[in-house]
């Protein structure tokens, strides 16, 4: 099947323009995501560049070949800048347009401008480099779990490979200098592949921004607004998922005399104490701990694969760290925490574990507070009698 180059260019111009408009419409609804605006501008710029390239023969070659390719390379640089903005990095707009400026400067050299192979090598190397840098930037941000991240890496990386493959091909099979636009298989293939990649890359980059927004909303719904740790709903969900497959120990923590702190120093100091408690406790807990606020001054921590004895040592570390909390304006402020501990096997019920830990916590409160108490083992005689 013969591909009609002018028709493909017209299609590329229309598709790229519509993709750019869609990016800008999405950005207008979520202006916080600056990457959408940059990607939108990049596609509009790319649409203009495709229009200039498609008019080759109808407009002067310096405009079509020289300016058109410079603008197209700049569009790829903007896409890379948008990826950097998405990952929270500096956009480096100067480096984004540097490729187009290098191309423009090279076109001023007659030996370069009259060599089709040399033009293909430089344009392909620069555009491929921007695509590869975009793939690398997304890869570096893989700590944020987004499903569309790896398809985006594959698409940008393979697009870079498509451009770089043109370099040895141009050297081995250089196209004729005076080939008409409509007879150039190079332009037909590049135009067709470019249109497909533009649509695919636009889809995955849109998906990335959507997944990030959904993830941030989900995290906000699962996070206690004051302390920044898991709220009750999130803690229960994570703890139940953990207990379904692993044994664990539960720490139930309650700040001592917290109502007195609120009444004496004010609720702003009370809020500061709750936040300071979390900052003091979190470093004392293992990395796989499930730590959350149940409400008020009551907190819970599930320690997977941990027995009651080891859990008590973690609790003592937390208690010691909390005891060092101080407020510069209130030197007589003292913070203590009582901890109740209960251990359960894999598959045990979280409500039952909370009830048992609460019993141990009540014992710690009753015996003077600011202490760790492990759930008492069952009485063997009572078990035999039962």
Residues 173, 179, 181, 183, Cα dihedral to 10°: -70
> To the nearest 5 percent, what fractions of the chain are helix, strand and coil?
65, 10, 25
Phi, psi of 296 (to 5 degrees): 60, -125
Question: Taking the CB of residue 161, how many other CB atoms lie within 10 A of it?
Answer: 12
Residues 63 and 52: beta-carbon distance below 8 Å: yes
Q: Backbone phi, then psi, for 335, in 5-degree steps? A: -120, 130
Q: How far apart are CA 49 and CA 127, in angstroms?
A: 13
* Catalytic residue, candidates 297, 298, 305, 316: 297
Residues 33 and 262: their CA atoms lie apart, in Å, by 40
Is 297 labeled as catalytic in the residue annotation? yes
Report whether 333 contacts 269 (CB < 8 A): yes
Rounded CA Rg of the chain: 31
239: how many CB neighbours lie within 10 A of its CB?
22
- Residue holding tokens 């664990």? 248
Gap between the Cα atoms of 190 and 371, Å rounded: 72
d(CA 164, CA 122) in angstroms, rounded, equals 10
> How many whole angstroms separate alpha carbon 297 and alpha carbon 277?
10
The neighbouring-strand residues paired with 295 are 298
The catalytic residues are 297
């Amino acid at each position: 099947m013969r591909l009609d180059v002018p028709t493909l260019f017209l299609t590329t111009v229309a598709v790229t323009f519509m993709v750019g408009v869609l990016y800008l419409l999405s950005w207008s609804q979520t202006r916080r995501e600056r990457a959408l605006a940059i990607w939108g501008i990049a596609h509009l710029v790319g649409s203009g560049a495709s229009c200039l390239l498609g008019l080759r023969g109808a407009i002067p070659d310096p405009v079509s070949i020289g300016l058109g390719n410079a603008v197209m390379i700049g569009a790829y640089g903007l896409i890379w800048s948008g990826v950097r903005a998405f990952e929270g990095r500096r956009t480096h707009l100067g480096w984004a347009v540097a490729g187009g400026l290098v191309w423009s400067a090279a076109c001023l050299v007659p030996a370069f401008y009259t060599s089709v192979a040399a033009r293909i090598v430089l344009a392909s190397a620069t555009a491929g480099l921007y695509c590869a840098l975009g793939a690398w930037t997304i890869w570096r941000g893989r700590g944020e779990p987004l499903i569309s991240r790896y398809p985006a890496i594959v698409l940008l990386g393979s697009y870079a490979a498509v451009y770089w493959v043109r370099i040895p091909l141009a050297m081995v099979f250089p196209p004729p200098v005076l080939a008409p636009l409509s007879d150039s298989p190079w332009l037909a293939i590049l135009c067709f592949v470019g249109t497909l990649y533009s649509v695919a890359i636009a889809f995955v980059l849109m998906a990335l921004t959507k997944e990030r927004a959904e993830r941030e909303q989900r995290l906000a719904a699962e996070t206690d607004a004051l302390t920044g740790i898991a709220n009750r709903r999130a803690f229960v969900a994570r703890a139940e998922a953990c207990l379904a497959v692993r044994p664990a120990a539960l720490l139930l923590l309650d700040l001592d005399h917290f109502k007195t702190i609120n009444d004496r120093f004010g609720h702003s100091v009370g809020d500061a104490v709750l936040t300071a408690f979390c900052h003091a406790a979190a470093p004392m807990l293992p990395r796989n701990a499930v730590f959350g606020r149940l409400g008020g001054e009551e907190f819970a921590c599930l320690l997977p694969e941990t027995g009651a004895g080891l859990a008590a040592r973690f609790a003592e570390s937390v208690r010691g760290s909390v005891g060092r909390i101080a407020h510069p304006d209130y030197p007589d402020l003292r913070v203590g925490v009582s901890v109740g501990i209960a251990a359960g096997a894999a598959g045990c019920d979280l409500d039952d574990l909370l009830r048992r830990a609460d019993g141990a916590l009540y014992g710690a409160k009753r015996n003077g507070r600011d202490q760790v108490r492990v759930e008492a083992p069952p009485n063997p005689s009572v078990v035999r009698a039962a």
